[in-house]
């Protein structure tokens, strides 16, 4: 191999840390280690409205938990920093200027109204190419320069005809018809770059030799390859990993599988078991062994041997493997794992103040506090009745709980009692439920009991993953009641 191997992951901090990020990180980490290279963490936070500090912190934390350490990144620094795209705006602007000067990019002043009209016309005509019609591409540079003060974006001038041939390590050459590809926006009207521009510029400047990422980015590859050409840069090797799938073969999604790494951590999966399982997604050891360590994987990984079958992320198989890892620990190690999580002082010190007032003997602790330690709580008939406020139907309640979860709790990253309270209170108004009705229903859903410690403190200590899982389950149980 001629270049030093440098790989990276480039997550966008827009939500809970995703299992797909761990999957890509694992292969990038291992490949860099196989070749004595470097593994880099870059934060792609150019989407100003969706990027979030809490999400970034959770990505670091989850990757640390998994033991996938990086050689360069926003927190550890390195020679190619800054490693957070929001701190690199000037670099992108300079690069866009270069492209404009060389005729590979152009400012576009079209208003949203005009773009909507173009799209509507294309759709009405049944046109196969739906996208920007190139209106501003024809503008003379001198005219464009006169309008510099007006709001505008900058677009990449894609070739109009012929094919763009890209090369993926696992798929070989793939030809895309140039006519079907839009003149991609590179710089938005707020002066921030789009993913495509920032990603390519950074991969080049950070001297990334191999881009190993999820299959969903394959369709962006012709735009990226065109950008490399326009800059006159040598592209890295591209390797798009197979998509992780739910059991029904659809793309992995939170409706069918937990996708947050926080879920797996809270539920007590061992990081080494999760990594082992993720390594099996598209990869098999030369001797077909299913159990192996990160260190072994990082010694033996060959990208060319990854298979594209669409691996199924099967929770049952992961749990089975996790059980094997648990049995492989000594009892003392097992105790240490429990103490690092559910039975650790950190967690117990959050739980105890909520229980102290309500117990009379120490052994009451186990009885009363059970719901703080188990995964799912059981809803007996009594509890199910309390889940549904008087005068409401189980179906209504299920719907309300589901809306609360999907639209209000799921996007919440700052899982604190005050935030939870204000969200639940304003949701009451929107749903037309009284606080008494909603709070009781949520209380029973997350604790399995009609009487519990203060609801919002309890939810905060239980954490988002546990609350989410129990509310979803309660809504499911209610839906099946006739
Ligand atoms: N920011 C992209 C993401 O969130 C990075 C994709 C890539 O690796 O190029 O996945």
Q: How far is the CA of 11 from the centre of ligand 1 (A)?
A: 5
> Tens digits of per-residue pLDDT, 49-94?
999 999 999 999 999 999 999 999 999 999 999 999 999 999 999 9
Task: Count CB-CB contacts under 10 A for residue 380.
Answer: 8
Q: pLDDT band for 103, please (50, 70, 90 cuts).
A: very high
pLDDT at 130: 66
Ligand 1 close to Cβ of residue 428 (< 6 A): no
**Percent helix, strand and coil across the chain, each to the nearest 5:** 50, 10, 40
Cis before 82 (ω within 30): yes
Residue 23's closest CA among 36, 9, 37? 9
Cβ(223)–Cβ(158) below 8 Å: yes
Q: Are strands 105-108 and 153-156 parallel, antiparallel or unpaired?
A: antiparallel
Cβ(312)–Cβ(245) below 8 Å: yes
- At 84, list the tokens: 């957070």
Catalytic residue among 112, 167, 254, 385: 254
The CA distance from 389 to 351, in Å, is: 28
DSSP letter at 170 equals T
Q: How far is the CA of 195 from the centre of ligand 1 (A)?
A: 8
Half-sphere exposure (Cβ direction) of 38: Cα atoms closer than 13 Å: 16
The CA distance from 400 to 142, in Å, is: 58
Q: Which helix (H) or strand (E) holds 456?
A: helix 455-462
What are the residue ranges of CATH 1.10.10.350 in the chain?
Answer: 381-479
pLDDT at 482: 67
Ligand 1 close to Cβ of residue 448 (< 6 A): no
> Tens digits of per-residue pLDDT, 462-476?
999 999 999 999 999
Q: Which atom of ligand 1 is nearest to the CA of 44?
A: 1
Contacts of 142 (CB under 8 A, 6+ apart): none
Ligand 1 close to Cβ of residue 44 (< 6 A): yes
Out of 3.40.50.620, 3.30.420.40, 3.40.50.300, 3.40.50.10860, the CATH code matching 88-241 is 3.40.50.620
Cis before 424 (ω within 30): no
The CA distance from 203 to 341, in Å, is: 37
Ligand 1 close to Cβ of residue 202 (< 6 A): no
CA-to-CA separations, 158 to 168, 182, 236, 415, 423, in angstroms, rounded: 20, 7, 20, 44, 46
Ligand 1 close to Cβ of residue 45 (< 6 A): no
pLDDT, average across residues 205-219: 97
pLDDT at 309: 86
Could you tell which of 10, 42, 85 is best to mutate to test the pocket of ligand 1, judged by most ligand atoms within 8 Å of the CB? 10
pLDDT at 1: 46
Collapsing DSSP states into helix, strand and coil, what is residue 308?
coil
Q: Which atom of ligand 1 is nearest to the CA of 199?
A: 9
Q: Which helix (H) or strand (E) holds 108?
A: strand 105-108
Of the candidate ranges 17-21, 220-224, 307-311, 394-398, the one whose mean pLDDT is the lowest: 307-311
CA dihedral 135, 137, 138, 139 (to 10 degrees): 100
Contacts of 296 (CB under 8 A, 6+ apart): 285
The CA distance from 446 to 469, in Å, is: 9
Sign of CA dihedral 454, 455, 456, 459: positive
Question: Is 367's pLDDT higher than 60?
Answer: yes
Task: Count CB-CB contacts under 10 A for residue 68.
Answer: 21
Q: What percent of the chain has pLDDT over 70?
A: 99
Fold of 381-479: Arc Repressor Mutant, subunit A (1.10.10)
- At 24, list the tokens: 């890509």
Residue having the nearest C-alpha atom to atom 10 of ligand 1: 11
What are the residue ranges of CATH 3.40.50.620 in the chain?
Answer: 6-76+244-319, 88-241
- 402 catalytic per annotation: no
Phi-psi region of 310 (alpha: psi -120 to 50; beta: other; left: phi over 0): left
Q: What is the mean pLDDT of the chain?
A: 94
pLDDT, average across residues 289-317: 95
The CA distance from 179 to 182, in Å, is: 8
Q: Kindly report whether the global pTM for this prediction surpasses the value 0.75.
A: yes
Ligand 1 close to Cβ of residue 213 (< 6 A): yes
Of the candidate ranges 143-147, 327-331, 408-412, the one whose mean pLDDT is the lowest: 143-147
> Tens digits of per-residue pLDDT, 242-278?
999 998 888 888 877 899 999 999 999 999 999 999 9
The CA distance from 239 to 236, in Å, is: 10
DSSP letter string over 203-231? HHHTT-SEEEEEGGGGGGHHHHHHHHHHH
Residue 169's closest CA among 306, 11, 38, 33? 306
CATH 3.40.50.620 fits 6-76+244-319, yes or no: yes
Q: What are phi and psi of 148, to 5 degrees?
A: -55, -35
Q: How far is the CA of 294 from the centre of ligand 1 (A)?
A: 23
Instruction: Provide the β-strand partners of residue 174.
Output: 166
Task: Count CB-CB contacts under 10 A for residue 127.
Answer: 12
DSSP letter string over 361-410? STTHHHHHTGGGTSSS----HHHHHHHS-TT--HHHHHHHHHHIIIIIIT
- At 238, list the tokens: 């591209």
Collapsing DSSP states into helix, strand and coil, what is residue 9?
strand
pLDDT, average across residues 31-45: 97
Q: What percent of the chain has pLDDT over 90?
A: 87
> Tens digits of per-residue pLDDT, 133-169?
889 999 998 898 889 899 999 999 999 899 999 999 9
Question: Is 129's pLDDT higher than 70?
Answer: no
Contacts of 81 (CB under 8 A, 6+ apart): 72, 74
Q: Are strands 210-214 and 237-241 parallel, antiparallel or unpaired?
A: parallel
Longest dimension (CA), the chain: 84
């Amino acid at each position: 191999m001629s270049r030093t191997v440098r790989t990276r992951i480039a997550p966008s901090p827009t939500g809970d840390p995703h299992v797909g990020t761990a999957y890509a990180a694992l292969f990038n980490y291992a490949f860099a280690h196989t070749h004595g290279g470097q593994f880099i963490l870059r934060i792609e936070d150019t989407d100003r409205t969706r990027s979030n500090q809490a999400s970034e912190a959770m990505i670091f934390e989850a990757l640390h938990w998994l033991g996938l350490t990086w050689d360069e990144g926003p927190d550890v620094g390195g020679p190619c920093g800054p490693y957070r795209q929001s701190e690199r705006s000037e670099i992108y602007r300079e690069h866009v200027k270069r492209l404009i000067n060389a005729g590979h990019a152009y400012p576009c002043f079209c208003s949203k109204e005009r773009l909507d009209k173009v799209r509507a016309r294309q759709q009405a005509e049944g046109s196969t190419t739906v996208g920007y019609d190139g209106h501003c591409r024809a503008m003379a540079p001198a005219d464009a320069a006169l309008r510099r003060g007006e709001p505008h974006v900058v677009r990449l001038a894609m070739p109009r005809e012929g094919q763009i041939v890209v090369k993926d390590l696992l798929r070989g050459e793939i030809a895309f018809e140039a006519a079907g590809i839009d003149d991609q926006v590179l710089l938005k009207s707020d002066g921030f770059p789009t993913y495509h521009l920032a990603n390519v510029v950074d991969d080049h400047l950070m001297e990334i030799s191999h881009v190993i990422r999820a299959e969903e980015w394959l369709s962006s590859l012709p735009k990226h390859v065109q950008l490399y050409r326009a800059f006159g840069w040598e592209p890295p090797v591209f390797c798009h990993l197979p998509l992780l799938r739910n059991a029904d073969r659809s793309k992995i999604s939170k409706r069918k599988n937990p996708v947050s790494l926080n879920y797996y951590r809270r539920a007590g999966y061992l990081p080494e078991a999760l990594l082992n399982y993720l390594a099996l997604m598209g990869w098999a050891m030369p001797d077909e062994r299913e159990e192996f360590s990160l260190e072994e994987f990082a010694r033996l990984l060959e990208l060319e041997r990854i298979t594209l079958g669409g691996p199924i992320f099967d929770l049952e198989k992961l749990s089975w493997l996790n059980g094997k890892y648990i049995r492989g620990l000594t009892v003392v190690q097992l105790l240490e794992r429990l103490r690092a999580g559910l039975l650790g002082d950190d967690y117990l010190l959050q739980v105890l103040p909520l229980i102290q007032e309500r117990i009379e003997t120490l052994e009451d602790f186990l009885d009363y506090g059970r719901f703080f330690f188990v995964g799912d709580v059981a809803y007996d008939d009594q509890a199910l009745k309390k889940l549904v406020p008087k005068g409401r139907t189980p179906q209504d309640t299920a719907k309300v709980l589901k809306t609360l979860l999907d639209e209000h709790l799921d996007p919440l990253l700052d899982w604190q009692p005050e935030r939870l309270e204000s969200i639940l209170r304003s949701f009451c108004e929107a749903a037309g439920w009284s606080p008494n009705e909603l709070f009781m229903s949520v209380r029973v859903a997350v604790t399995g009991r009609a009487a519990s410690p203060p609801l919002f403190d309890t939810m905060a200590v239980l954490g988002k993953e546990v609350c989410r899982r129990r509310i979803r389950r309660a809504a499911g149980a209610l839906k099946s009641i006739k």
